[in-house]
Structure 1
Amino acid sequence: MSLNTQVPAPRAGRPTPPDAGVIAPSHGYARAAFGRRTTPRVMWHRPYILWLLVLDLLAALAASQTAVALLDKADAGFQDPAAPGGVDGIFVLVANLGIPLGWVLILAACGAYDRRALGTGTEELKRVLRADIAMAATVSLLALGFKKDLSRLTVLLVVTAALVYTLVGRFLARLVLHHLRRSGSHASQKILLVGKLSDALALYDVVTRNKAAGLCPIAIHLPQHPRPGETVTAPVPVYVGWELVPLVQEIGADTIAVCGPASLESYELRKLAWQLEGTGLDLVVVPQVTDVTGPRIHVRPVDGMPLLTVEEPTLSGLSLVTKSALDRLTALVGLILLSPLLLGIAAAIKFTDPGPVMFRQRRIGYQGKAFKVWKFRTMYTDAEQRLAALQDQNESDGLLFKMKDDPRVTPIGKHLRALSLDELPQLINVLVGQMSLVGPRPLPTEDDDYQGDVRRRLLVRPGITGLWQVSGRSDLTWDDAVRLDLHYVDNWSLTYDIGILWRTASVVLARRGAY
């Protein structure tokens, strides 16, 4: 990215910074922060959580009413309302009050309202699923404990409806939150990046590329002064020589992110954590081991010292067999259900442009094996012959050719690409085992082009969608695309795949990076 130096003007009474682009502390600011001014707190989540509480209560109430309506129609699962003891009244009270309140309490116990999980689709999904399982177990145990003859169909309908309605409500809430964050509202954490300039800029690029994550870097603090004559260039103000807590107070940040292993000594990091107690500030530490997440990372304490254990990636075993079986089953069902749409797209292509409906191209897949990928044709039939004349207009910095306004794309092809409908025939590749629903994109290159780290992409089957596609698609640089693909290979899981499929829908509907 192109960076411009931003040097804030010194405030009244503050000496001019001695280094170009770097702000040194004025007298009296390089001090401890105990008992000083009030530190900014992370507050954006409070109104958001209140809205989630309302949505979750409504979702549970709607789930109860759905179960009642369905069971009434089936004439099952209820006792006679005229029976003695007021059973019907008790049931209505439980359905309209007990279940909603219990659902919210279980969601809270499972961390579904934890600020660090809000706005993160995959993490929210896992916590809501965990709460739904706990809800089913709780209702069953209560029925057993109070010796109530509760229909299993009733429990199934309530927990299933609660899960569906809650996920839909949270999905809509998350869309609103992401829109607010992209529009520059206050629904984000303001971060002070602490560390070497290269490490801080690397984290800056990552968090600003995905504004929906809710992390907004506003300044950088260097651990030491630049060398004489060294130019400091950054997109945000750069500070040096400050005490971190007073600096956070000065710039109005609410989070300190320590970037890289050489940013702070261990005793300095511990001291900083002590200073942040009771301030409401968040402390984020970027580990030296990057692009490794999820179940591969474990913390093992030994005599008070936390040891970070990184397990090797799982590239074989039962999980991969399960993934392959689910891929093929989903592809078969998808081809059957989508057959009217596929026939309609094929007819539209045939009637609007002469030539074949399908486009098949050689791609490199699992373990370097070549295969022919199926796609709807979105370009004119002479596209390959016209490619050489357009090479100087290539907007990609990697192995692919990309143009936002490629003249070889047909009018209907532009719409198919925008909604990724041209990729649907790849369900055939998934069905025969050449591709997966989720994985790195298969590229139109030769096996010899995959050298070095890039070759790790071939350790799993390529996918119709993947981390690359939901993180920017064609707007990403080649290095970013490779990094995301390798991250997926090293950290894949069935839960991760479900999260990527969930995000794919919103990315496709928003038409981001599709050309």
Structure 2
Amino acid sequence: MRKKSDFYFKVVLVVLDILALLSAFTIAYILRISLDPRPFHVSINALDFITSIAMTLPLWIIMFYFFGLYDRESYTHPLRQFGRILLASVTGIMIMISVTFFTNTPLFPAKLVAVYATVIGFALLMVFRSTANIIRLRLLKRGLGARRVVIVGNCDLTHVLADFIENNPLTGFRVSGIVARAEFIPIELKSLRRSSLESALTRDKIDVIIQTDSKNVNNNYQLAQKHYLDFYQAPEFDGIMTTKHTIDIIDSVPLIHAHPTPLMGYGQIVKRVMDIVGGTIGIILASPIMLLVAIAVKISDPAGPILMHGKQQKRLTRYNRPFKVYKFRSHYAKFDGKTDEEVFQMVGKPELIEEYRKNGDKLDQDFRVTPVGRFIRRFSLDELPQLFNVLKGDISLVGPRALVPHELSAYDKKHVLLAVKSGLTGLAVVSGRRSISFEERRRIDLYYVQNWSLWLDITILLKTCLVIFQKDN
């Protein structure tokens, strides 16, 4: 069955990890001999050294397993895998050194062998695993190794999932059947509609069942067990989507305790420290650029201020607190201090406001923006002054997009977004930025609020540096 493709890939990763580790220790031994003429501290010949290392490899693989390096969430996310491999490599060498110290059993003929092995091992593990993942993704693009899925449920999420899976083969899934009413099925997938789950399991080869509503969940789960299939259930309410939840048991009844966000207590302190350090470094590094941008803004349109002001400056952050956002002015001075609706009314084009909102708060050719403004928006230079907002504590380096007051009244899940500080950048920025709709950006922001982690923030910051230089950012 195709669902075994994940198992086979994990076996490949284990083999590659063993080859990487053996190669790393062998190269480290050779480098020590080649680069340093001094004799070894402990006399160990090459064959004995490699043999002793080979005997420790099962322990390395077990350690990698506990570090999550064979979890799908790790090997499908390069940045997440990078951090785990780095930590695992250093930990493994430290354990070997500790064993040598406490048992007086020499494993390394010289200290530099351990240093070389750490660096080379990390590099080879990343190269081997990245190559394997690239091959895996290319096979998925060709439909090889994808798990065949049937989607069950009469709700909009069925349409969303089916359409996304169909157009994104890298998810590792392929839609083989849909049990839902016609209005919940994408037009191009109407032929995959099935009358019941039993019919789909009989007619199609299925590896996975995904249920998007709560109807007959128990029966469908029993069917999945009967046919040895994976079963996914979409949460009935957004709180379950957060990683910050615990299970409490009252009178043998398991209860899910869902927290609004992991950014409470310890997480809040860590994030603030990160903001202060990152904001300070950012201001120091960006000061020359901000000076040049300020001069360019003033020369291009001398009548207006360098920073935008007025109504456009007002934003909302955590706990519905208003603050003034610092941004370089990118529009003509005559539009300064006016809301989007007021500008379109002023130029006699009130009908554009609907198009503007539907298009994710943008126009393909925005008449309000100056030539310099287009350039600084292209590379997000207009947002650099917000580093001072970060230092002040108005916003964070990473978070949901700052809400404009008039948007707040129209958004029904604003209380979730306002549980944390807004961000200079965010998950929505690195997930498509202006190429995705307003509603999609909000859904991504909600996911971030409910699933925050320090590593997620670091990943977003690294990806932001890449996104701003992409053609369609």
| Pairwise CA distance, 1:496 | 3.0
Q: Which residue of 2 aligns with 1:335?
A: 283
Shift of 1:400: 6.7
Task: State whether structure 2 residue 351 is matched by structure 1 residue 392.
Answer: yes
Counterpart of 1:367 in structure 2 is 319
1:194 paired with 2:152, answer yes
* 8 A Cα contact 1:57 1:103, kept in partner: no
User: Does structure 1 conserve the Cα–Cα contact (< 8 Å) formed by 2:3 and 2:147?
Assistant: no
Distance apart, 1:112 and its partner CA: 1.6
1:439 maps to what in 2?
399
Q: Does 1:107 align with 2:86?
A: no
Contact 2:260 2:416 in 1 (8 A): no
Aligned to 2:203: 247
Distance 2:334 2:117 in 1: 57
Does residue 493 in structure 1 map to residue 453 in structure 2? yes
- Structure 1 residue 296 corresponds to structure 2 residue 244: yes
Aligned residue in 1 for 2:5: 43
Q: How many residues align?
A: 455
- Taking structure 1 as the reference length, the TM-score comes to 0.69
Does residue 1:285 correspond to 2:233, yes or no? yes
Q: 1:488 to 1:282 in 2, by over 3 A?
A: same
The 5-angstrom pairing of residues 419-498 of structure 1 reads 419-445=379-405, 449=409, 452-498=412-458
- For structure 1, the residue ranges without an aligned partner over 5 or more in a row are 1-38
For residue 328 of structure 2, the aligned residue among 370, 376, 401 is 376
Q: CA deviation at 1:308?
A: 4.7
CA-based RMSD: 4.7
Map 1:158-197; keep pairs closer than 5 Å: 159=118, 186=144, 188-197=146-155
Identity %: 24
Kept in 1: contact 2:93–2:118 (CA 8 A): yes
Secondary structure of 1:240's partner?
coil
User: Does the 8 Å CA contact 2:10/2:70 hold for their aligned counterparts?
Assistant: no
Q: Which of 320, 324, 330 is residue 272 of structure 2 equivalent to? A: 324
1:218-297 to structure 2, matched below 5 A, reads 218-222=176-180, 234-235=186-187, 236=189, 237-241=192-196, 242-249=198-205, 253-262=206-215, 264-276=216-228, 282-290=230-238, 292-293=240-241, 295-297=243-245
The gaps in structure 2 that reach 5 residues or longer are none
Counterpart residue identity of residue 444, structure 1: V
C-alpha displacement at 1:323, in angstroms? 0.9
Change (3 A) 1:153 1:353: farther
Alignment deviations for residues 423-448 of structure 1 (CA, whole Å, 9 cap, x no partner): 23321211121110111111333597
Is residue 396–residue 478 contact of structure 1 (8 Å, CA) maintained in 2? no
Residue 376 of structure 1: SS of its match in structure 2?
coil
Single out whichever of 490-499 and 501-510 deviates more from structure 2.
501-510
Deviates more, 1:86-95 or 1:425-434: 86-95
Contact 2:224 2:230 in 1 (8 A): no
Q: CA deviation at 1:332?
A: 0.7
User: Relative to structure 1, is the Cα distance of residues 132 and 358 closer, same or farther in structure 2, using a 3 angstrom cutoff?
Assistant: farther
- Inter-partner Cα distance in structure 1 for 2:387 and 2:32: 35
Q: CA deviation at 1:303?
A: 11
Q: Report the Cα distance in structure 1 between the residues aligned to 2:183 and 2:314, rounded to whole angstroms.
A: 48
Distance 1:258 1:489 in 2: 24
User: 3-state SS of the aligned residue for 2:364?
Assistant: coil
* 1:119 to partner: Cα distance: 1.8
Secondary structure of the corresponding residue to residue 292 of structure 1:
helix
Q: Is the 8 A contact 1:53 1:104 kept in 2?
A: no
CA distance in 1 between partners of 2:33 and 2:395 (Å): 42
Higher RCO structure (Cα 8 Å, ≥6 apart): 1
Greater Cα shift, 114-123 or 370-379: 114-123
8 Å Cα contact 2:420/2:449 also seen in 1: yes
- Amino acid aligned to 1:464: L
Return the alpha-carbon distance in structure 2 between the equivalents of residues 153 and 292 of structure 1.
49
User: Higher helix fraction: Structure 1 or Structure 2?
Assistant: 2
| CA distance in structure 2 between the aligned counterparts of 1:324 and 1:169, rounded to whole angstroms | 37
CA deviations 1:353-405 (Å, max 9, x no partner) are 65655445222223233222223343333444754435533445479732133
Structure 1 pair 238–177 and aligned structure 2 pair: CA distance change class (3 A): same
What SS class does the counterpart of residue 266 from structure 1 fall into?
helix
Residues 1:508 and 1:255: Cα distance change in structure 2 (over 3 Å): farther
